[in-house]
Amino acid sequence: MILLRSLPFGKSFKISQFQTLIADSLTIFWGDWLELRARFVPIASSGLISPLIYILTFGLGLGSSIKPGSGISSDYNNYLEFILPGMVALSSMTVSFVGTTFSICGDRIFTKNFEELLLVPVHPLALHIGKMLAGVTRGLMTSLSVILVALVFTRNWNFLNPLFVLILVLSCAVFAGLGVIVGLTVKSLESVGLYNNFIIIPMSFLGGTFFDPGTLPTVLKVVVYLLPLTYASLGLRAAVYLPLSQFPWYCVPILFVMAIALSLWGAYIFSHQQD
C-alpha cells in the first residue's frame, strides 16, 4: 500500500502546516505512549543489565587499576566516574534503537497492523517524528534508571542538569531515528540481529564510553569521531564534570544535524513504504 500523504514531501511548510505537522506527530506518538506507559517498569529496566555489568566489571573491577592522569584525565576522581556518563549514553543508544526497530518490525511482519498506519492521511515526516518520539521516550525511561545508579555512586547532581538532558535527548533522537529506518527496511527479525551485531555492539565499545577518544592515534580518531555515540559520550561526560568553558559545544549541532538528517531520510522511506 502506498502511503496517502496530506502534503507533498519536500514542499515548504507554512505556519499552519507546521502546526498540523506537530499535531499529527504527537498523535502518532500518543498511540505508542499508551502502550509504553503500561509497560514502564519492564522498559525502564530492560536496558539496565548491560550498563550494570559494565559498571561492576570495568568501573569497580578493572577500573581500580586505572588512575587519574594515567589513562584518563585528572578531571575525574576514578575510572568509575569516567565511564558512568558513557553508560547513560550506551543505554540510550541500545534501547532507543533496538526498542524502536523491534516495535516497527513486529507491527510490519507479525501483527500486520502497520498497514493501518500507512493509510493515515498525515505527512510522512509526522509519521517518522511520532515513531521517533516513542523511541526517545523508551531511551529516556531506561537512561533514567542508569542515572539513578550514577547518582548512588557519585552523588553528583550534574547528571540532571539541563545540558546533560539536552545531549541525552539528542542522542536518543539520533538512535531512535536510525531505529525507525531499520524497522522500515528489514525483512525479518534475523536482519535486526545483523544490524545490532555489526553496528550497535561495535559502536558500544568504540564510541568513547570506555576511553578518551583524544588519546587515540589519528587514524583511529577518524573512525571513532564518525560515530554518533562518541559525541553523546563526550557531551554527557563534559556536562557532568567539566565547566561550561571547556564543554565541547560542537557535540550539540552534530547530534542535532544527525537527527534532522535521519528524520528526512525516514520521512522519505515512509513516503515510499509498501507493505
Cell of residue 82, nine digits = 569516567
pLDDT given for residue 102 in this prediction = 87
pLDDT of 100 strictly over 80: yes
184-220 residue pLDDT tens: 888 877 788 888 888 888 898 888 888 888 888 888 8
pLDDT given for residue 208 in this prediction = 86
Cell of residue 22, nine digits = 506537530
Cell of residue 162, nine digits = 539541563
Tell me the pTM: 0.86
pLDDT of 271 strictly over 70: yes
Mean pLDDT of all residues in 135-144: 91
pLDDT of 137 strictly over 90: yes
27-75 residue pLDDT tens: 889 888 888 888 888 777 776 777 888 888 877 777 666 766 666 666 7
pLDDT of 241 strictly over 80: yes
H or E stretch including 68? Answer: strand 67-68
Which of the four pLDDT bands, split at 50, 70 and 90, describes residue 5?
A: very low
Which is nearest to 238 in space by CA: 93, 21, 116, 73? 73
DSSP states along 14-66: PHHHHHHHHHHHHHHHHHHHHHHHHTHHHHHHHTTHHHHHHIIIIIIIGGGGP
Q: Are 81 and 162 in contact (CB under 8 A)?
A: no
Mean pLDDT of all residues in 104-125: 79
pLDDT given for residue 63 in this prediction = 65
Average pLDDT of the chain? 83
d(CA 134, CA 154): 30
pLDDT of 85 strictly over 60: yes
- Beta-carbon contacts of 94 under 8 Å, excluding residues fewer than 6 positions away, are 47, 50, 142, 200, 204
